[in-house]
Amino acid sequence: MPGFFKRIVKLMGNRFEITIISNDAEQANEKIDLAIAEISRIEKLLTTFNDDSQTNEINANAGIRAVKVDKEVFDLIDRALKISALTQGAFDITYGSIDKSLWNFDVHMKSLPDVETARNSVRLINYKNVILDAQHTTVYLKEKGMRIGFGGIGKGYAADRAKSLLQKMDVLSGVVNAAGDLITWGTQPNGKPWTVAIADPDQHLKPFSTLNISDMAIATSGDYEKYAIINGKKYSHTIDPKTGLPVSGIKSVSIISPSAEFADAMATPVLVMGVRVGLDLINQLQQTACIIIDSNNNVYTSKNINIK
């Protein structure tokens, strides 16, 4: 009888949980080792916490010169810029230049910065100033002080890569969970599809609904983990890249898509765009669905949410 084999590791600053179904414990553990090695490899490429990473080399040369990168990094940046265009800048990997000193989302934060200061803090955020040269696989940030970061897309990309590697090794069923952004394939040992619980934003240990997500990915972005309450209003730790101010009005956004990378990248911009604009965008995309819960606990779903 096939069984579950699970491993939990901390990588890319997040808790990764890898679960596979197998008949053989030794083989299962070897395959999980290789998936973890793949996520570690991606972390080294993308991290901003290591001076030698390609990301940091791009950032260090902002306004100076183009930097040659691996095709894998180049392609990820290219896809990220396409998502920026799709979301009209609500998703933007150049968020790395934002002044962290303005934002300390905790109980002690009692006021928002003034509009001018906030707007100044995001003046370097502009995905259109990332210049790609496909022929030479180089990346150039036009403005000095610009910084890119993969916080909004990296763990989804790593989850996709780990899944792909496990499938190549004939793992027929499993789940890669990257801090709540997860991708599944195959079925559970009893033949039933994988299901996911959508957390109630007010009591996030309590689900309010479940979805079948076999062979799909789901990513959730919300204000229930880091936020500030100012004058009785709750502000998410998500910053609108256009204004520099935190977004409010939505408690959580869950995106369902065949790709964890795409689901991860789309959850935050829908939070920024708001219910109406966000739903309108998702409804135009194929094989993509979303569930939005607003500040008043109203639940909104895209047209195609009955994904089996």
pLDDT tens readout for residues 84-119: 999 999 999 998 777 555 655 555 667 777 778 778
Q: What is the pTM of this model?
A: 0.90
Predicted confidence at residue 308, as pLDDT, reads 39
CB 295 within 8 A of CB 249: yes
Task: Enumerate residues 6+ apart whose C-beta is below 8 A from 232.
Answer: none
Predicted confidence at residue 138, as pLDDT, reads 98
Predicted confidence at residue 105, as pLDDT, reads 53
Predicted confidence at residue 115, as pLDDT, reads 77
Report which listed range, 24-33, 90-99, 296-305, is most confident: 24-33
Helix (H) or strand (E) holding 56: helix 54-60
Average pLDDT, the chain: 88
* Average pLDDT over every residue of 128-153: 96
Q: Is the pLDDT of residue 208 over 70?
A: no
| pLDDT category of residue 242 using cuts at 50, 70 and 90 | confident
Q: Is the pLDDT of residue 169 over 90?
A: yes
Bigger pLDDT: 239 vs 93? 93
Predicted confidence at residue 186, as pLDDT, reads 95
Residue matched to tokens 């100033």 = 129
Q: Is the pLDDT of residue 205 over 80?
A: no
Predicted confidence at residue 201, as pLDDT, reads 60
Task: Enumerate residues 6+ apart whose C-beta is below 8 A from 146.
Answer: 59, 62, 63, 94, 96, 97, 124, 126, 129
- Residue (of 42, 45, 40, 41) closest to 58 by Cα position: 45
Task: Enumerate residues 6+ apart whose C-beta is below 8 A from 227.
Answer: 105, 234, 235, 236, 237
How many CA atoms within 13 Å lie on the side-chain side of 14? 25
Q: Which two tokens stand for residue 62?
A: 């902002």
Phi, psi of 257 (to 5 degrees): -160, 160
Bigger pLDDT: 8 vs 246? 8
Predicted confidence at residue 200, as pLDDT, reads 64
Bigger pLDDT: 132 vs 250? 132
Say if residue 269 is exposed, middle or buried (CB neighbours under 10 Å; 0-12, 13-18, 19+).
buried
For the segment 59-80, what is each residue's pLDDT rounded down to a tens digit?
999 999 999 999 999 999 999 9
Predicted confidence at residue 244, as pLDDT, reads 82
Bigger pLDDT: 6 vs 246? 6
Predicted confidence at residue 101, as pLDDT, reads 57
Predicted confidence at residue 307, as pLDDT, reads 41
Predicted confidence at residue 24, as pLDDT, reads 93
